[in-house]
Structure 1
C-alpha cells in the first residue's frame, strides 16, 4: 500500500510539473532579423547569484545583474534602415513609452537617462502572470497603445538606441507578475528559471523554436584610410569607401565574445594576390566587445591600382570562429 501511495505521489508531482509547463507561454523570436546573420544576442540574462556574472551556458557573454537578452544590430546604418520588433506571443499591451531620442548614453550621459533607462518601450501581458518587455525602441516607431490586443509576430515598433545603451538593440525581458501586476521575478527565456538561479541549474527553454547559442561572432568590418574611428565605423560611414594611392590601407573589425588565448590574423593582399600586410596576435584577455584595426602606410610611389582584399580571422583551439573578407578599390 505504501509503495502504491509513493508511486501515486510521484505521478502527481510529475503531472503538476507537466501542467505548469503547459501553462507557460512559448515565445517566438521577437525581431524581424535572422540570428547570426543580421542580428546577434550580445548579452544574456545573469544566472549567477551575487556580484558576478554567468549566463545560462556558464559563459561570460553578458553583464552582472542583466535581466533581459540584448538582440543587437550590426551598426547604426542597419537601425536607420528599420528593423521591426515583433510581439513574442499573443497578449494585451499594458504600457508604452515613446519620445526618447536615439542617442548613445555615452553622448547623452547617465544622468539624462537615469529615470528612463529602458528608453522607449512596450510591455505586453500574456496572461497567467506572464509579461514581456521590449526596450530601447526607436523614437516615434511604436505602433501600439495600452489596451491593444496583439498577436504573435505583430510589429510593435522598431529597434533603436533610446535610453541607457551604446548600441542599437532591443532588450527582450520576460517577467512573472503577481495578481496586482507587480513583477515578482525576471525569467531567463532559455531556462524558464528566475535570474540568479545558477548556470548549472536544469531548466527548459520558453522559445517556440530553437534559438542557438552563439558565443562569438563578427559584427562589422571594413577598410579605412587610416586608424579606424569607431563611432564612424558604427554609423556605417565607412561603407563604400575608396582607397587612395598614397593613403594608408587599414582593415578594421569589431567582434563580440572573444576569449583570452584566441589568435587573430589580419592579412591584406594586393591586386596580384600577394600580401602587402600581415599581422598575427594572440589575445591576452577575454572581451565581450572587441575592436581591432591593422594596416600600413602606402609604399614609396603609392599603391598600385586595383582591388585590395582584407581578411580577418579569429581562431580558437585551432578552429576558425570568424573568417571574413572585405575589398577596397584603389583607382
Structure 2
C-alpha cells in the first residue's frame, strides 16, 4: 500500500457522490491521481460525472469512449478517465481535457444542456435548488461556480433574525428584510453581497475563510480584522476601510469579466444557472428541500437586488457613480 494525505471536502464529492462511486479506496486513489497529475479535483470529477450521464443518456456511446463502460458507479472507469484526461488519451479524454464548454461543443447533441457549470467552471457536488442564497452565490461568483466567493453558509443554520441582522449590518448599516429560512428568497441578495465582501477582505488579509463568518456566526469578521492587521503589520484601518478595499477589489474583478465578455444571461459567461435548476426538482437531501427548484422570476429579482447593492446597472455594469465612490473612475481596469 501507499501512504497519502486524506482527501478534502471537494474530493469526497468529485470521486464519490457525483460519479456514485462508494469505495473509499476509489476516492483516495482519485484524489492521489489528480494531486500527482496537477489536476483540479472538482473539475476532473465533475466533468467525468457529466460524461457518465451523457453515456447513460446515449449521447456518448462506446465509440466515443473507446469501449469504456462509462456508467455511474463504475469505479474502474472513473479512475481510467482521470488518466485519459491527463494524457489526452482517446477522443473523449482529449475532448474533456479542454474543459466542459469546449467539450460540449465537440460532443454536440444537446450535451451542453446537461453541463452544470457557471462561467465555464463546473459546480461543486452541492445542490442549490432548495437554497436560493447559495444558488445566487454560484451564479454571480466572479470566477465561475465557486462557493468560496460569496456562499452564506450560515444561511443554513436557521439563525434568529436578530443574530443575522447583527452580522449583516456591520460595518455598513442594513435595515432591509432578512429571513432565517434557507428556502426563502427574502434578503438573500444582501447576504450574498455581504459575504462576497467578507471573502474578498479575507483574501486580501491572507486569512483562511474557515475562520470567519463563513462557517460560524461568532467567528471573526470585520470588527475583529483591524486588530489582526495592526498586531501583525502595524497598519491601522477601520472595519469600514477594510470593507471599502474589498468592495473595490470585487469591482475590479467585475470590470475584468465585463471586458472578457460577461453578459448577464449568457449561459457560458453570465450570472445565470443551467436550466436544470429551474426545470428539474431536487430529488435528494433534507426533507424540506426535496421537490424544490429555483423560481426563475424570483431568481431574476435576486440578481436585480444583488446588482443594486453593488451599485451596478441592470446589466451588471458598475455605474459611473460607483466607480467614482470607490476611487476607480480613473482606474483603467475596464480597458485592460
Structure whose alpha-carbon radius of gyration is higher:
1
Instruction: Calculate the TM-score normalised by the size of structure 1.
Output: 0.27
Instruction: Calculate the TM-score normalised by the size of structure 2.
Output: 0.26
In terms of fraction of residues, the more helix-rich structure is 2
